[in-house]
Amino acid sequence: MTPKVVRETEPEQRVQLPPAAPAADSYRPNRGTPLNLDWVEDVRANTSAIERRAQTLITRRTVKKEWQAAWLLRAIACTDLTTLAGDDTVERVRRLCAKARQPLKPSLMDQLKIHELGLTVGAVCVYHAFVETAVRALEGTGIPVAAVSTGFPAGLSPLAERVAEIHRSVEAGAREIDIVITRAHVLGGNWHALYDEIATFKDACGSAHMKVILGTGDLMTLRNVGRASMVAMMAGADFIKTSTGKEPVNATLPVGLVMTRAIRSYLQQTGMAVGFKAAGGVRTAKQAMEWLFLMKEELGRPWLEPSHFRFGASGMLADIERQLEHFATGRYSAGHRHPLA
């Protein structure tokens, strides 16, 4: 059940804490399977039907008032707060981590009366060079640090260098590794090479969770997206992720629909659950809710938890904060009053 946030003007000002997600712990984490080319070949994608289904999430699904506020709080909890710019600095990463620890202004939390939720983001995602900085800044919070790796964003450096990069980030304290695949393996239908590459990265990750970035904007067809998703899960992916955020087209709902249905098919065949991460182009509170609706309808309640679902975003948090302030006060504040960090 989604938490209910009550307006400040209502007599009773409180938050109803949600119960634990049903059956979330009954799914086994993904340990991978041998490559099964029959599963890969069975993947089909009817583009027009997929696009129609994705459109219904926008036109037929909506929530308002306190329920909308509650869904937006859930979006914050599932966010990988990210900075992957060429001009990143140590100070910027420290500010990002401060925002991760306290995503909303104290005054807004007072108005919403949600201090008891202990709200934080799902993770902080940075380049390897800033992993140690982020780990120190988040010490004692339980918020994991995710490092993009394996020659991000192109993934075309020599394999030994990509594996070594994973080892360095894990040694520096990263608990999650976002790896990128060689897109040419997908475009050429070289599923053995793709499987071996991802399995090698999984071994290098050790106990760290591995998120496999498919770079869907480069994969040409939705069928390729579905097949790459299946191979990544068989190779041991803990999450499959849409994009690096650097492609011309990044996270879209049709792509998300294909990937979530691949997750569902894999779960049905193996009993193992794989998480999903939408990254690139998710900038508004409205988009965040659309992705949450997709997760709820296609995969169920456990995929509204940070253990199973993440956004890769930065600017989205500022827009969510604006929407929550409007809910609490009835007024929209200027965007500059809600800086990222």
Q: How far apart are the first and last CA of the chain?
A: 31
Q: Pinpoint the alpha helices (H) of the chain.
A: 37-41, 47-59, 65-77, 90-101, 106-112, 131-137, 159-172, 183-187, 191-205, 222-234, 253-270, 285-298, 315-329
Residues in CB range of 147: below 8 A, 6 or more apart: 125, 126, 127, 128, 131, 169, 172, 174, 176, 177, 178
Q: How far, in Å, CA of 98 to CA of 273, rounded? A: 31
**Apex 16 CA angle, 13 and 21, nearest 5:** 160
Catalytic residue numbers, as ranges: 178, 241, 277
Residues in CB range of 171: below 8 A, 6 or more apart: none
Burial class (CB in 10 A: 0-12, 13-18, 19+), 85: exposed
The tokens describing 158, both together, are 């020599």
C-alpha radius of gyration, the chain, whole number: 20
Reference 228, options 216, 239, 238; nearest CA is 216
Reference 16, options 2, 26, 27; nearest CA is 2
CB 155 within 8 A of CB 191: no
DSSP letter at 145? E
Q: How far, in Å, CA of 57 to CA of 54, rounded? A: 6
